[in-house]
Structure 1
């Protein structure tokens, strides 16, 4: 690999690392996609009724069919969507899980922000999260 290509690769990694400094935001990067491949495959499996039934019968047993990390399994069992996203879950794939649980996107998104579904809906009606305030995790601490 040429020195220019190496520099470009390093610059891309530095650029992507900056996303980790955005408070309250988890950017779905290629790195997260690779990390969460099996978690997202599990979530997509819930599109089929037969798989949803097997999962509902015994969550833990169904998860054993997937090559998930212990952290991903724990997050799924706890329905901790932020932890699932940290494990590489994509919210659009994870929507299959909260749908299988009979939850709306609004309810799940509210749980990810620490808000009730009603508070989350009102925030969105009001234009979303304010851009004012802490813009960097580094600045916060």
Structure 2
């Protein structure tokens, strides 16, 4: 039974709640495994084979292989766990956030330095 979730009406926003936590449990456990050097080495040696050792959905595995962080979040990934993947790739949090917004890293950095995204279009549906 799903609870009333008014935050679902914020365009482009994925909220990591209890339901998403259950959905992404194995994806997030995989991410946490990358904290160990030997697991990072196994993952980098054969990403698909390492992913297949985890009880993730095929969509989750494909999103990891594609480094599609938005899709990972939509399938239950928590951004702080997903950080282990882009860190494993030698990328910064800022770089990953930029890819999730469709911006280059310099564009994203400038947007954040000038106050972030404007509220218009980024609030609850029906609010101006």
Question: What is the TM-score of this pair, normalised by structure 2?
Answer: 0.93
Q: Partners of 2:61 and 2:84 in 1: how far apart?
A: 16
Q: Partners of 1:43 and 1:133 in 2: how far apart?
A: 32
Q: Partners of 2:53 and 2:122 in 1: how far apart?
A: 42
Q: 1:136 Cα deviation (Å)?
A: 4.2
Q: List gaps (5 residues or longer) in structure 1.
A: 1-8
Larger Rg: 1
Partners of 2:27 and 2:60 within 8 A in 1 = yes
Match of 2:15 among 18, 21, 27: 27
Identify if the C-alpha distance between structure 1 residues 134 and 110 changes in structure 2 by more than 3 Å, giving closer, same or farther. closer
CA RMSD of aligned residues (A): 1.5
Partner residue in 1 for 2:43: 55
Q: 1:24 Cα deviation (Å)?
A: 1.7
Q: List gaps (5 residues or longer) in structure 2.
A: none
Q: 1:19 Cα deviation (Å)?
A: 1.9
Aligned length: 126
Q: Is the helix fraction higher in 1 or 2?
A: 1
Flag as ranges the 4+ runs of structure 1 deviating above 4 A. none
Higher relative contact order (CA 8 A, sep 6+): 2
Cα deviations across residues 58-86 of structure 1 (Å, max 9, x unaligned)? 00000011000011001001000000000
Question: What is the TM-score of this pair, normalised by structure 1?
Answer: 0.84
